[in-house]
C-alpha cells in the first residue's frame, strides 16, 4: 500500500461523506460549511493529481470567495431551517433517491467497462509539467486568448446583472 | 504519483455528481439547491483534472479554470436573484415561490 | 505572437459587438441620458454586425488556432441573432417605460447575450461553446428578473436560473467525459475520430449528457418545465429574444457538433433520441396550447412544439434538412418577434392585458395591428405561402429523404392541431365584439419592428429560394 493510495482514500472519504452531509443537513449554514470542507478535500485530490495551480485556485476562488458569498447571503436572509427532508412529498423523494442510486450504479458500471485507463497514457513527467502555473499561463495567454476575452465579458455581464438585481434604484 | 488507476477518481466524481443531482431534486431551499449545483460542477471538475493529469495535457485544467470563472459569475447572479426574491416574498423555499402553476 | 493582424480583421463582427459593450458601459457611466442614447447605439451595432456578417458570408476562416470560425453557417446565425436583437431593441424603447424598468443596462445585457450567441454559433472548440452558452444564459437570467419588484419576474428568473444552472452541470460533466476519452476539446479532431470512438461507451455517455443539457436550452419536451413560467413571467420583449435567438443559438450548437459528425458517414446513433423528443414536443406543445388563454403562455407552448419540428431536422440530419432547420429558425425568429412585439404594444401596466380576451375586437380599433397579428399567426400555423410554411416544408422534405416519413406525417398532424389555437386568436380579433377599450401605447418604434418582421415573413414566404440557396451553399462548412 503506497502513500498515494492512502492519501486518496482519506481525501475521497472526506469528499464523499461531506457531499452527502451537504444534502442531508436541514440547516443551510451547516450545509455550506460541509461544502467548504468538500472543496478542501478536492483541492487535496488535485494536488495528488499534480495539478498545483488548479488546487490553489480551488482554495482561493471556490472555498475562499464563492463559499464566503454563499455564507454571507445565508446569514443575511436568515431563513428558517427546512423541515426534515422526508417529512413531505415522501414518495416522490424516495423515488428520486431510488433513481439516483440506480443511475450511480449504472454510471459506475459504464466507467468500469469503458476502461478509461486504456485511453490515458499516465506519463509522469508530462503530467507534472501540464499542471504548473507556467504551462497553464502560457496556454491561457496564447492559444486560449479568445476564451479568456469571452470570460472577461462574462464577468462584466454578471457584475452588471448583479447590480441591476440588487441595487438599481427605481424612479 | 499517478500510481492508482484513474477509475478511482472517476467513480468518486460520478458519486459526487449524483449526490448533487439528488440534492437538487429533494431539497427545497433555493440556496441549498444552488449549492448542490456547485457540487455537480465540482464533480465534473474532478473528472476533468483527473483526465488532464493522466493524459498529460493541460487542456482539461484550463477548462477547469474557465468553469471556476463561470461558477463565480453564476454565483453572483444567482445569489442576487435569490436576494431579490427574498425581499419580495420573504421566503427562499422553491415550493412556496409558485404563482404560476408548474 | 503567432496571430497576424489579418486574423483580428476577420474577427470584426465579434470585435464590433465587444467594443460596443465597453462603449455602452462608458456611456452608461458618464451620462444620465444613457437610456435615450443606448437604444440607438445598440441598433447601430446590431445593424452593422448583421450586415457585415451576411456580406462576408463566403469568407470562411478558422481563426486563433482553431478556436472560432467566421463565415458560412456562423455568418447566417450571426445575421439571425443580430436581426432579432435589432427588432427587440426597437420594440423595447416604448415597452420598457410601460414595464417600469427603463434601464440603460438592459441594452448592455442584450448586447452581451448576442455576443454569447455569436460565440456559440462560431465555436470550433467545446470550451467556446461552454463560455458562449454561459454568457448568453447569465444575461437571460438577469433580463428575466429585470424588474425586481414584480413577483412574476422574480419567479421567472429563479426558475430559469436554477434549471439553467442544473443543465449546465450536465453539459460540463458530459464535456469532461468527452475530453477524457479523446484528450482534446477541438470539434474538428473529435469529428475525425468519431467513427473510431463511437463504440466507446464513455464517449457516447458524455455526448448524451451534453445533448441532454442542450435539450433544456432548446425547450424540447421532457425538459420543457421551465418554459411556460419563464416566458409568461419575463418582460414581453425579453421573452421575444429568449424564445427566438436563444433557441437559434442552442440549435446552432447542436448543428455544429452533431451534423458535422454525420458528414463523415458514420451511422447516426442519435436519431432515435431526436425522433423521440421531436414527436413528444410537437404533440405535447400543440395539445397543451389548445387550453391556454394567456397569449404569452400559449406562445410558450407553441415554442415547445416548434422545437419539435426543428428536432425532426436533427433526426434526419442530411444537408437538406439541416438547411431546413436554419431556414426555419430564421422564419421563426421573424414570426415570433412580430407576435411578441404586438403583445408588447397591447400589454397594459403590471402584466395586465396579455390574455386572449383582451384582444377581442382588435380589428375595430386597430385594424393594422390585427392584420399583422393574423399574418404572424397564419405564419406560425404554417399556412402557405408564408415563411413558416416553407420552414416546415423543407424540414419535412429532408426527413422524407432520410426515410423518416412517419415523423413527417406526425409533424403534419401536429400542425393541423396547432391551426386551431392560432386561428382562435384571429377569430377573437375579427369576429367578436370588443368588450373593453384597447388603448395601446403609440411608440412608432414598436410599430416599425412589427412592420419589418411582417415584411420579412412575407419576403421569406414569397421568395424562400433566396435564403435557402444561400444556406445550401454554405451548409457543409
Q: Could you tell me which chains touch chain A, where touching means 3 or more CB pairs under 8 A?
A: B, C
Q: Do A16 and A54 share a structural domain?
A: yes
pLDDT for A36? 94
Q: Whose CA is closest to C412, among C443, C433, C383?
A: C383
In the predicted model, is pLDDT for residue B102 greater than 60?
A: no
Q: Do A72 and A6 share a structural domain?
A: yes
pLDDT for C260? 61
Q: Do A142 and A92 share a structural domain?
A: no
Q: Compare CB distances from C155 to B13, B47, B100 and report the shortest one's residue.
A: B100
Q: Which residue is listed with cell 488507476?
A: B5
Give chain A's domain count. 3
Inter-chain residue contact B41 with C176, CB threshold 8 Å: no
CB A131 within 8 A of CB C219: no
SS3 for C208-256 is: HHHHHHHHHHHCCHHHCCCHHHHHHHCCHHHHHHHHHHHHHHHHHHHHH
pLDDT digits (tens, 9 = 90+) for C123-136: 999 999 999 999 99
Please compute, for residue C150, the number of CA atoms within 13 A of its CA located in the half-sphere on the CB side. Answer: 20
pLDDT for C263? 60
Q: Residue C426: which residues within 8 A CB-CB, separation 6 or more?
A: C373, C374, C377, C378
CB C126 within 8 A of CB C178: yes
Instruction: Extract the residue ranges of chain A whose pLDDT is less than 70.
Output: 1, 80-85, 171
Inter-chain residue contact B1 with A48, CB threshold 8 Å: yes
pLDDT for C438? 66
> How far is CA B101 from each of CA A84, C116, C229, C299, rounded to the nearest angstrom?
25, 31, 8, 17
Inter-chain residue contact A121 with B11, CB threshold 8 Å: no
Q: Which residue is listed with cell 460541509?
A: A34
The domain containing residue A107 runs over which residues?
A: 87-123
Residues 298-317 of C with CB under 8 A from A: none
How many Å apart are CA C274 and CA C314, to the nearest integer?
A: 7
How many Å apart are CA B15 and CA A20, to the nearest integer?
A: 10
How many Å apart are CA C393 and CA C387, to the nearest integer?
A: 10
How many Å apart are CA C190 and CA C186, to the nearest integer?
A: 6
pLDDT digits (tens, 9 = 90+) for C346-369: 887 777 788 888 888 888 888 888
Q: Do A59 and A43 share a structural domain?
A: yes
Residue ranges per domain, chain B? 6-89
pLDDT digits (tens, 9 = 90+) for C392-406: 999 999 899 888 899
pLDDT for A54? 94
CB C38 within 8 A of CB C24: yes
Q: What is the mean pLDDT of chain C?
A: 89
Q: Compare CB distances from B37 to C127, C148, C166 and report the shortest one's residue.
A: C166
pLDDT for C85? 95
pLDDT for C171? 94
Inter-chain residue contact B61 with A155, CB threshold 8 Å: no
Q: Count the Cβ atoms, other than its own, within 10 Å of residue A4.
A: 13
Q: What percent of chain C has pLDDT over 90?
A: 53
In the predicted model, is pLDDT for residue B96 greater than 70?
A: yes
Inter-chain residue contact C165 with B81, CB threshold 8 Å: no
User: φ and ψ at C41, to 5 degrees?
Assistant: -60, -45
In the predicted model, is pLDDT for residue C342 greater than 80?
A: yes
Residues A60-64: contacts with CB within 8 Å, 24+ apart?
A: A61/B68, A61/B72, A62/B38, A62/B42, A62/B68, A62/B71, A63/A36, A63/A39
Q: Could you tell me which chains touch chain B, where touching means 3 or more CB pairs under 8 A?
A: A, C
Q: Could you tell me which chains touch chain C, where touching means 3 or more CB pairs under 8 A?
A: A, B
Inter-chain residue contact C155 with B20, CB threshold 8 Å: no
Q: Do A139 and A115 share a structural domain?
A: no
Q: Do A150 and A93 share a structural domain?
A: no
In the predicted model, is pLDDT for residue B1 greater than 80?
A: no
Q: Do A118 and A64 share a structural domain?
A: no
In the predicted model, is pLDDT for residue C11 greater than 50?
A: yes
How many Å apart are CA C373 and CA A167, to the nearest integer?
A: 38
Strand partners, C62: C69
Q: Whose CA is closest to C334, among C163, C151, C456?
A: C456
pLDDT digits (tens, 9 = 90+) for B23-67: 998 888 889 999 999 999 999 999 999 999 999 889 999 999 999
List helix spans (H) across A49-144. Answer: 52-57, 67-77, 90-113, 124-130, 133-141
Q: Whose CA is closest to B33, among B20, B17, B16?
A: B20
Q: Do A13 and A54 share a structural domain?
A: yes
CATH T-level fold of B6-89: Helix Hairpins (1.10.287)
Residue ranges per domain, chain C? 5-474
Q: Whose CA is closest to A82, among B23, B37, C164?
A: B23
Best of C169, C216, C301 to disrupt the B interface by mutation (most B CBs within 10 Å)?
Answer: C169
CB C324 within 8 A of CB C475: no
Residues of A within 8 A of C18 (CB-CB) are 149, 153
pLDDT digits (tens, 9 = 90+) for C418-451: 999 999 999 988 888 777 666 666 678 888 999 9
Strand partners, C68: C63, C123
Number of A/C CB contacts below 8 angstroms equals 102
Could you say which of A82, A112, A141 is where a domain stops? A82
Amino acid at each position: 500500500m503506497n502513500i498515494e493510495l492512502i492519501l486518496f482514500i482519506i481525501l475521497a472519504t472526506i469528499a464523499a461523506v461531506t457531499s452527502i452531509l451537504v444534502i442531508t443537513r436541514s440547516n443551510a449554514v451547516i450545509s455550506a460549511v460541509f461544502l467548504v470542507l468538500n472543496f478542501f478535500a478536492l483541492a487535496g485530490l488535485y494536488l495528488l493529481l499534480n495539478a498545483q495551480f488548479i488546487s490553489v485556485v480551488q482554495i482561493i476562488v471556490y472555498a475562499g470567495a464563492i463559499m464566503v458569498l454563499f455564507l454571507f447571503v445565508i446569514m443575511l436572509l436568515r431563513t428558517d431551517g427546512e423541515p426534515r427532508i422526508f417529512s413531505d412529498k415522501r414518495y416522490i423523494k424516495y423515488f428520486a433517491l431510488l433513481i439516483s442510486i440506480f443511475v450511480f450504479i449504472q454510471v459506475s458500471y459504464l466507467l468500469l467497462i469503458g476502461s478509461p485507463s486504456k485511453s490515458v497514457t499516465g506519463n509522469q513527467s508530462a503530467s507534472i509539467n501540464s499542471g504548473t502555473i507556467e504551462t497553464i499561463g502560457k496556454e491561457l495567454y496564447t492559444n486560449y486568448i479568445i476564451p479568456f476575452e469571452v470570460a472577461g465579458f462574462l464577468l462584466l455581464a454578471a457584475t452588471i446583472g448583479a447590480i441591476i438585481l440588487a441595487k438599481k434604484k427605481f424612479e | 504519483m499517478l500510481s492508482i488507476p484513474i477509475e478511482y477518481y472517476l467513480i468518486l466524481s460520478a458519486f459526487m455528481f449524483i449526490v448533487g443531482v439528488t440534492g437538487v431534486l429533494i431539497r427545497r431551499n433555493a440556496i441549498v439547491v444552488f449549492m448542490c449545483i456547485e457540487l455537480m460542477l465540482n464533480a465534473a471538475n474532478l473528472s476533468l483534472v483527473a483526465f488532464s493529469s493522466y493524459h498529460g495535457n493541460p487542456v482539461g485544467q484550463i477548462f477547469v479554470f474557465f468553469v471556476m470563472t463561470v461558477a463565480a459569475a453564476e454565483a453572483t447572479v444567482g445569489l442576487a436573484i435569490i436576494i431579490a426574491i427574498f425581499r419580495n416574498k420573504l421566503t427562499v423555499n422553491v415550493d412556496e415561490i409558485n404563482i404560476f402553476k408548474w | 505572437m503567432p496571430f497576424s493582424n489579418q486574423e483580428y480583421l476577420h474577427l470584426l463582427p465579434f470585435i464590433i459587438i465587444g467594443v460596443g459593450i465597453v462603449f455602452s458601459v462608458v456611456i452608461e457611466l458618464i451620462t444620465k441620458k444613457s437610456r435615450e442614447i443606448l437604444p440607438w447605439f445598440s441598433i447601430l451595432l446590431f445593424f452593422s454586425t448583421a450586415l457585415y456578417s451576411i456580406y462576408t458570408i463566403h469568407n470562411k476562416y478558422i481563426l486563433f488556432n482553431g478556436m472560432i470560425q467566421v463565415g458560412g453557417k456562423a455568418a447566417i446565425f450571426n445575421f439571425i441573432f443580430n436581426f432579432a436583437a435589432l427588432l427587440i431593441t426597437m420594440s423595447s424603447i416604448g415597452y420598457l417605460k410601460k414595464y417600469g424598468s427603463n434601464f440603460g443596462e438592459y441594452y448592455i445585457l442584450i448586447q452581451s447575450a448576442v455576443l454569447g450567441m455569436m460565440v456559440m454559433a462560431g465555436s470550433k472548440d467545446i470550451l467556446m461553446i461552454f463560455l458562449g452558452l454561459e454568457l448568453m444564459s447569465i444575461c437571460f437570467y438577469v433580463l428575466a428578473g429585470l424588474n425586481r419588484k414584480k413577483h412574476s419576474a422574480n419567479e421567472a428568473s429563479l426558475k430559469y436560473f436554477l434549471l439553467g444552472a442544473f443543465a449546465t452541470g450536465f453539459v460540463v460533466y458530459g464535456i469532461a467525459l468527452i475530453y477524457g476519452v479523446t484528450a482534446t476539446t477541438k470539434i474538428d479532431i473529435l469529428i475525425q475520430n468519431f467513427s473510431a470512438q463511437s463504440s466507446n461507451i464513455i464517449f457516447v455517455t458524455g455526448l448524451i449528457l451534453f445533448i441532454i443539457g442542450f435539450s433544456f436550452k432548446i425547450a424540447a419536451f421532457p425538459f420543457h418545465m421551465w418554459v411556460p413560467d419563464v416566458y409568461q413571467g419575463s418582460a414581453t420583449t425579453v421573452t421575444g429574444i429568449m424564445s427566438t435567438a436563444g433557441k437559434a443559438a442552442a440549435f446552432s450548437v447542436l448543428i455544429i457538433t452533431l451534423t458535422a459528425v454525420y458528414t463523415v458517414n458514420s451511422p447516426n446513433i442519435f436519431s432515435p433520441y431526436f425522433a423521440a423528443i421531436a414527436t413528444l414536443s410537437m404533440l405535447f406543445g400543440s395539445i397543451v396550447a389548445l387550453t391556454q388563454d394567456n397569449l404569452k403562455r400559449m406562445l410558450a407552448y407553441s415554442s415547445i412544439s416548434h422545437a419539435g419540428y426543428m428536432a425532426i431536422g436533427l433526426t434526419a440530419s442530411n444537408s437538406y434538412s439541416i438547411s431546413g432547420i436554419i431556414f426555419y429558425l430564421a422564419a421563426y425568429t421573424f414570426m415570433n418577434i412580430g407576435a411578441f412585439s404586438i403583445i408588447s404594444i397591447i400589454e397594459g401596466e403590471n402584466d395586465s392585458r396579455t390574455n386572449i380576451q383582451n384582444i377581442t375586437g382588435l380589428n375595430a380599433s386597430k385594424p393594422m395591428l390585427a392584420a399583422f397579428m393574423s399574418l404572424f399567426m397564419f405564419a406560425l400555423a404554417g399556412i402557405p405561402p408564408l415563411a413558416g410554411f416553407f420552414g416546415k416544408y423543407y424540414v419535412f422534405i429532408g426527413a422524407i429523404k432520410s426515410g423518416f416519413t412517419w415523423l413527417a406525417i406526425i409533424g403534419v398532424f401536429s400542425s393541423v392541431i396547432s391551426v386551431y389555437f392560432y386561428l382562435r386568436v384571429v377569430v377573437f380579433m375579427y369576429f367578436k365584439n370588443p368588450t373593453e377599450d384597447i388603448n395601446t401605447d403609440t411608440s412608432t418604434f414598436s410599430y416599425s419592428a412589427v412592420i419589418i418582421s411582417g415584411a420579412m415573413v412575407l419576403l421569406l414566404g414569397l421568395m424562400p429560394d433566396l435564403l435557402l440557396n444561400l444556406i445550401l451553399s454554405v451548409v457543409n462548412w
